[in-house]
């Protein structure tokens, strides 16, 4: 119904080449950030925030104002996605009708931005959808590395703290791998990178986790099992590896995260009393001499203020760089700049869930929290083995059998027939019982 509009739901909606070019644009803007107030004059962005996030909102709105555009603010929209209220789809359709030329959406449910993009008649920028994606934060982090180090490929980036529950870390780690940086995980004990993140790193970027010898990092890594992952060919690394694991030599950046206490169970309360704290002591080792210290902010106590005046501390600069990079993003999606780089070939297709109830296992996915005007959809993340994820929140969908809407037969996942079903004919079944209840029968052979 709507014309072909580009949205920024995920970092993957931009090609690596586009992102590199955006970095140059942002750097140009930052040279005199007040000199671009005509670029988006006459255009309006609307901040639709279904949960408060003052910092993210102000960063976007500042960027739009610096481009000379106007800003509509709905800072605390009550989540209307309930039996009593309006659907997110309708809200976005109305606001994108004539009110605004671009929507910046923040929502507590994973997948909300994807759903909004489906109905919007203007570009939607995802400003955080639950614990799913926050692409402009990731782009800001990458941009900061690029500005500081001149490149991203081949950098050694330490990720420290709560690597298990931090959305920021997960998005950043994929992006680092995509840009060819090496990842040094220094988790707070018990808060290691989740298995599904490691698997995606391995499958998409060939980055195998290796035990690492971080003894030279001193206090920073003293309490952690350090893991090293590189999207580069592992044989290049073998020289530096011995029985204690890969030697971690020089570090380019330490990216610290706060404990995501709101997502922790009660079990972890004890762990957090001893949560890592970055300070002069933990940054004293020689390999950290030129490592910039990053943090997505807000921080609490995990970075000591004794680091604030250290020239390596760039977390406030990092926050400030959110403005030029968001200016570049807004200008691009509002059509006021054109890039030479080629866009991504194709965004993964979504296929409708054709039978049964939503198989998405994530209770805070928008496909569950929204009661009106939402369809179920999945995307195929792998053909062999067959693997599917929710089309909205990207969580892996568990299924035990598949069916074909044409033949009305079901098949085991590892059967050749299963792999031959066209994705748009594919039905995912939890088990035999569900398959038969939905009227599918076993393939005759």
> Interface residues with a copy of itself (CB under 8 A)?
1, 30, 33-35, 37, 41-44, 46, 52, 54-55, 58-59, 61-62, 65-66, 70-78, 80, 84-86, 90-91, 93-95, 97-101, 297-301, 305, 309, 316-317, 319-324, 372-373
Q: 3-class DSSP state for residue 43?
A: coil
Nearer to a copy of itself, 136 or 434 (CB): 136
DSSP string, 265-304: -GGGHHHHHT---BSTTTT-SGGGTT-EEE--S--SSSB-
Number of H helices, E strands in the chain: 13, 20
Catalytic residue among 57, 93, 106, 188: 106
Catalytic residue among 7, 36, 56, 230: 56
Nearer to a copy of itself, 43 or 418 (CB): 43
Q: Which of 137, 100, 130, 99 is nearest to 115 (CA)?
A: 130
Q: Strands of 386-390's sheet, edge to edge?
A: 351-352, 377-383, 386-390, 396-397
Question: What is the distance of C-alpha 383 from the center of its chain?
Answer: 23
Active site annotation includes 55: yes
Q: Least distance to a copy of itself from the beta carbon of 78, Å? A: 8
How far is residue 306's CA from residue 280's CA, in Å, rounded to a whole number?
7
Stated as kind and residue range, the H or E segment containing 215 is none
Catalytic residue among 4, 34, 54, 84: 84
Q: What is the DSSP letter of 373?
A: S
Q: Least distance to a copy of itself from the beta carbon of 204, Å? A: 33
How far is residue 282's CA from residue 156's CA, in Å, rounded to a whole number?
17
Catalytic residue among 55, 199, 289, 383: 55
Catalytic residue among 93, 134, 178, 258: 134
Largest CA distance in the chain: 72
Q: Phi/psi at 355 (nearest 5 deg)?
A: -155, 150
Rg (CA), the chain: 23
Torsion angle of the four alpha carbons 99, 104, 108, 112, in this order, in degrees rounded to the nearest 10:
80
Question: What is the distance of C-alpha 150 from the center of its chain?
Answer: 23
How far is residue 76's CA from residue 51's CA, in Å, rounded to a whole number?
6
Nearer to a copy of itself, 33 or 237 (CB): 33
Active site annotation includes 134: yes
How far is residue 364's CA from residue 380's CA, in Å, rounded to a whole number?
21
The answer to whether the beta carbons of residues 413 and 382 sit under 8 Å apart is no
Q: Least distance to a copy of itself from the beta carbon of 14, Å? A: 22
Q: Least distance to a copy of itself from the beta carbon of 258, Å? A: 10
How far is residue 103's CA from residue 50's CA, in Å, rounded to a whole number?
13
Side-chain half-sphere CA neighbours of 29 within 13 A? 30
How far is residue 349's CA from residue 360's CA, in Å, rounded to a whole number?
17
Peptide bond into 332 cis (omega under 30): no
How far is residue 378's CA from residue 393's CA, in Å, rounded to a whole number?
10
Q: Least distance to a copy of itself from the beta carbon of 403, Å? A: 26
Nearer to a copy of itself, 265 or 416 (CB): 265
Q: Least distance to a copy of itself from the beta carbon of 296, Å? A: 11
Q: Least distance to a copy of itself from the beta carbon of 323, Å? A: 4
Q: Least distance to a copy of itself from the beta carbon of 44, Å? A: 5
Nearer to a copy of itself, 70 or 279 (CB): 70
Nearer to a copy of itself, 373 or 387 (CB): 373
Q: Least distance to a copy of itself from the beta carbon of 270, Å? A: 17
Active site annotation includes 317: no
Nearer to a copy of itself, 42 or 439 (CB): 42
Q: Which residues are catalytic?
A: 55-56, 84, 106, 134
């Amino acid at each position: 119904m709507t014309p072909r509009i580009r949205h920024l739901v995920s970092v993957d909606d931009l090609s690596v080449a586009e992102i590199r070019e955006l970095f140059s644009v942002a750097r140009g803007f930052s040279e005199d950030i007040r000199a671009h107030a005509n670029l988006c004059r006459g255009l309006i962005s609307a901040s639709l925030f279904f949960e408060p996030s003052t910092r993210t909102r102000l960063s976007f709105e500042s960027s739009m104002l610096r481009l000379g555009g106007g800003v509509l603010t709905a800072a605390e929209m009550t989540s209307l996605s309930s039996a009593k209220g309006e659907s997110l789809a309708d809200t976005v359709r109305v606001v994108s009708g004539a009110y605004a030329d671009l929507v910046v959406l923040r929502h507590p449910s994973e997948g909300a931005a994807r759903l909004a993009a489906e109905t919007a008649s203007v570009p939607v920028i995802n400003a955080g959808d639950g614990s799913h994606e926050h692409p402009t934060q990731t782009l800001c982090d990458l941009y900061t590395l690029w500005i500081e180090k001149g490149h991203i490929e081949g950098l050694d980036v330490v990720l420290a703290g709560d690597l298990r529950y931090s959305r920021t870390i997960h998005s950043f780690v994929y992006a680092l791998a995509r840009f060819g940086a090496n990842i040094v995980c220094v988790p707070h004990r018990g808060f290691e990178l989740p298995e599904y993140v490691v698997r995606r790193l391995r499958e998409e970027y060939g980055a195998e986790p290796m035990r690492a010898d971080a003894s030279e990092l001193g206090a920073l890594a003293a309490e952690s099992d350090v893991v090293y992952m590189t999207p580069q060919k592992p044989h290049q690394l073998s020289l530096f590896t011995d029985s204690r694991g890969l030697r971690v030599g020089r570090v380019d950046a330490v990216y610290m995260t706060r404990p995501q206490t709101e997502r922790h169970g009660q079990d972890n309360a004890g762990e957090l009393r001893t949560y890592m704290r970055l300070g002069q002591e933990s940054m004293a080792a020689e390999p950290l001499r030129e490592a910039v210290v990053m943090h997505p902010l807000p921080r609490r106590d995990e970075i000591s203020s004794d680091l604030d005046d250290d020239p390596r501390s760039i977390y406030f600069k990092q926050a400030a760089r959110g403005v030029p990079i968001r200016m570049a993003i807004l200008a691009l999606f509002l059509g006021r700049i054109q890039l030479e780089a080629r866009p991504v070939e194709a965004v993964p297709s979504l296929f409708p869930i054709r039978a049964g109830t939503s198989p998405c296992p994530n209770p805070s996915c928008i496909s569950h929290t929204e009661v009106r005007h939402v369809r179920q959809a999945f995307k195929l993340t792998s053909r062999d083995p067959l693997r599917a994820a929710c089309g909205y929140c990207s969580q892996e969908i568990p299924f035990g059998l598949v069916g074909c809407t044409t033949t009305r037969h079901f098949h085991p996942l590892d059967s050749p027939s299963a792999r031959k079903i066209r994705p748009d004919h594919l039905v995912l079944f939890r088990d035999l019982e569900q398959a038969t209840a939905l009227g599918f029968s076993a393939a005759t052979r």
